[in-house]
A and B are shown apart, each in its own frame.
Chain A
């Protein structure tokens, strides 16, 4: 269980606000996602909750323990995987795991069942130095090390950044299994597609929380009809959309352009007509459901 109440953090002489009065409440056993671009303040929140950074305002608790006063209890019951790979590159997989088990006053054998599923995937390479592992294997090892003392709360700061799509998918499968064991997980990611895999997400930008909801509700709350448009000349299409007086918001989205319009009663038929007037050919146009990314862009421009 994690709670944050108006927690703030600023850095440097200019008092740059990194975290701006954030309040959140995450119940036990939830897989909660912090979604936001680089520099949004995700890592600062993680570091304050894991007691390695002191907040400048507000308060927070993890498992009911205060992050400032009861840091010692928190350090015993949380697992933290920093965004940057931070295990010893000159120690082997096995040695890293044993080392972290020891500094948490436990042994690998004692909690082996918790990491078994993950560890068997990297076990064939257990004599290999951590610095020589692939990105995906490094993440698995880091997760094992964060889990080895059987934490009840797990903090994962951008665990899938720089990991290939297959390993990313596997990683999220593992998180679901951990959640099933009752572990509360707070995970941050810059990838919007991963957001839908969380129970609830908080969209965060410039240290402020824009919205906290389940991914479905966030998508359902998208206010305008959204259209996906494609043409054989995408750059012209985007230019026209951007400058058209009827267009409210438009941006490239994969092989399509996504656009919302000021007149919400416009139908696909009318829009097709409208774009053909602009000498665009092979125009394909359809209503589409908003993704988390659309919601995020909408919240930022609002």
Chain B
């Protein structure tokens, strides 16, 4: 116990003397949690629209003002011909072209039917998709309004209609921040824990201090524990800072039990730190460790279910996602923080993450050799 205590004292001293690392541990979660959810927003706004109005009737004017007043679109051009409007797409000034044909109003009233033409710049897939869909919705609404104006509804509707009313659970207003913030916090905890652990033992290798440790009778598991515990504590500190930031800035307070949340984070940190330690036992320089960690971090983050749902990935990618500890953390964070899931609900996730922790740490322990061949 005395050895462990001294190892911990030494590690904490070194961490607190490294002002850069210390600043990163505190500043990184704060700043990134403030900036990223506000900036990285899935809601597409400011879609640039070019309109060709060949009708110039009250109806076409109404439609255009309805579109521009929705807040999603910016009217970039009001052109005479499609070719002219297309130049705006070519020069990237417009994302969408809406062409209103001549006699739009007349045909609509007389023949109860009229076609509109939408051209979409599909280079930015998300923007194109959503922009097209928004525009279609607005036009449909416009159409509905016209109907109520023009047709006096009969007492009994001759055609049966299904009306859809949806209510959003756990995130009533479909607030993007509520969805993203717990996920980003999960990524931050993973990154800080993983990198700190991966770089630490390698740093001792580079400085040669590990040579002095290796010739001493110190037990391997003492040494590994001496590395694991300080970063485990720091990981919890980072997570707590992140939770406070989410509460203060976004008003997100965990709906579920805090003990369950911290219990899961504790197990998850063991897994991630074990992974970092494992990498550091295989590498010789901090540069190597950094690059290998980056390789895995990119996969963890992009295949963790934050940016794209795991369910919509191809099957092979879903298998990779199942081996990604971060995907479990992101799920559990959302379950506990947003949904208020209890211990029983997260038990399967907890079991898998604990298995990760056990395997990775044992592997790291066996691969750390005090004697080299």
Interface residue ranges, A against B (CB under 8 Å): 50-54, 71-72, 75-76, 78, 80, 82, 84-91, 95, 98-100, 102-105, 145
Q: Indicate if B160 sits at the interface (CB-CB under 8 A).
A: no
Does B2 lie at the interface of the complex (its beta carbon under 8 Å from any beta carbon of A)?
Answer: yes
A-B contact pairs, 14 of them (CB 8 A): A52-B371, A53-B371, A54-B373, A75-B217, A78-B215, A82-B208, A85-B208, A90-B18, A99-B6, A99-B10, A100-B212, A102-B2, A103-B218, A104-B216
- Whether B214 is near chain A, meaning CB under 8 Å from some CB there, is yes
* Residues of the A chain whose Cβ atoms lie less than 8 Å from the Cβ of B18: 90
Residues A50 and B212 in contact in the complex (CB < 8 Å), given A91-B13, A99-B10, A102-B2? no
Contact B14 A53 (CB under 8 A): no
> Whole-angstrom distance from the CB of B153 to the nearest CB of chain A?
80
B209 within 8 A of A: yes
A86 touches B211 (CB 8 A): yes
B21 to chain A, nearest CB (A): 11
Complex: A85 Cα to B209 Cα, angstroms = 8
**Does residue B106 face the partner (Cβ distance < 8 Å to A)?**
no
Residue of B nearest to A142 (CB): B212
B225 to chain A, nearest CB (A): 13
Contact flag A80-B215 (CB < 8 Å), given A52-B372, A88-B14: yes
User: In the bound complex, how far is the Cα of B218 from the Cα of A103, in angstroms?
Assistant: 6
Query: Measured between alpha carbons, how far is A285 from B343 in the docked complex, in Å?
Result: 94
Q: Which residues of A contact B373 (CB under 8 A)?
A: 53-54
Report Cα–Cα, A53/B301, bound state, in Å: 39
Q: From residue 195 to 221 of chain B, which have CB atoms closer than 8 A to chain A?
A: 207-209, 211-218
- Choose one: A54, A71, A75, A86; the contact of B207 (CB below 8 Å): A86
Q: Any chain A CB within 8 A of the CB of B17? A: yes
Measured in the bound complex, the distance between the Cα atoms of B216 and A75 in whole Å is 5
Which of B3, B10, B211, B215 makes the CB contact (< 8 A) with A91?
Answer: B10
How does the 8 Å CB contact mask read for B129-151 relative to A, with 1 for contact and 0 for none? 00000000000000000000000
Find out whether the CB atom of B6 lies under 8 angstroms from the CB atom of A102: yes
Question: In chain B, what residue has the closest Cβ to A84?
Answer: B208
Bound Cα distance A239, B276 (Å): 61
B103 within 8 A of A: no
Residues on A with C-beta less than 8 A from B212 are 80, 82, 86-87, 100, 145
The answer to whether B56 has its CB under 8 Å from any CB of chain A is no
The 0/1 profile, CB within 8 Å of A marked 1, for residues 1-43 of chain B is: 0110011001001100110000000000000000000000000
Bound together, the chains give a CA A100 to CA B171 distance in angstroms of 55
Distance from A122 Cβ to chain B, minimum over Cβ atoms (Å): 18
Within 8 A of A (CB), among B37-52: none
Nearest residue in A to B10 (C-beta to C-beta)? A99
User: Measured between alpha carbons, how far is A89 from B371 in the docked complex, in Å?
Assistant: 24
Instruction: Give the docked Cα–Cα distance between A47 and B125 (Å).
Output: 60
Q: How far is the CB of B88 from chain A (nearest CB, A)?
A: 59
Residues of chain B lying within 8 A (CB to CB) of residue A87 = 209, 212
Q: Is the CB of B209 within 8 A of A75?
A: no
Quick one: which of B7, B13, B211 has the most chain A CB within 10 A? B211
- Chain B, 357-373, contact with A by CB distance < 8 Å: what is the 0/1 string? 00000000000001111
Which residues of the other chain, A, contact B209 by a CB distance below 8 angstroms? Answer: 86-88
Contact of A53 with B211 in the complex, beta carbons under 8 Å: no
In the bound complex, CA of A85 to CA of B207 (Å)? 8
Cβ-closest chain A residue relative to B223: A103
> With A and B bound together, what is the CA distance between A72 and B10 in angstroms?
24
B197 to nearest A CB, angstroms? 18
Asked if A103 and B3 sit within 8 Å, CB to CB, the answer is yes
A54 and B217 within 8 A (CB)? no
Q: Is there an interface contact between B216 and A53, defined as CB atoms closer than 8 Å? A: no
A256 to B20, CA, bound (A): 55
Asked if A91 and B14 make an inter-chain contact with CB atoms under 8 angstroms apart, the answer reads yes
Kindly state the separation between the CA atoms of A103 and B7 in the bound complex, as whole angstroms.
8
When distances are taken between beta carbons in the complex, the residues of chain B under 8 Å from A145 are: 212
CB-CB nearest in chain A for B209:
A86
How far, in Å, is B263 (CB) from chain A's closest CB?
32
Tell me, rounded to whole Å, the shortest Cβ–Cβ distance linking A49 to chain B. 10
Looking at the assembled complex, report how far the CB atom of A17 sits from the nearest CB atom of chain B, in whole angstroms.
Answer: 16
Contact status A95-B10, CB under 8 Å? yes
- What are the residues of chain B within 8 A of A90 when measuring CB–CB? 13-14, 17-18
Residues of B with C-beta under 8 A to A99:
6, 10
Which residues of chain A come closer than 8 Å to B371, judged between CB atoms?
A: 51-54, 71
Q: For A102, what are the chain B residues with a Cβ–Cβ distance below 8 Å?
A: 2-3, 6
Q: How far is the CA of A78 from the CA of B216 in the complex (A)?
A: 9
Minimal beta-carbon separation of A86 from chain B (angstroms): 3
| Complex interface: chain A residues within 8 A of B13 (CB) | 90-91, 95
Q: A78-B215, A80-B211, A103-B216 provided; 7 other pairs, C-beta below 8 A?
A: A53-B372, A71-B371, A75-B217, A91-B14, A100-B212, A103-B7, A103-B217
Contacts of B217 in A (CB 8 A): 72, 75-76, 103-105
User: Contact at B215–A52, with CB atoms within 8 Å?
Assistant: yes
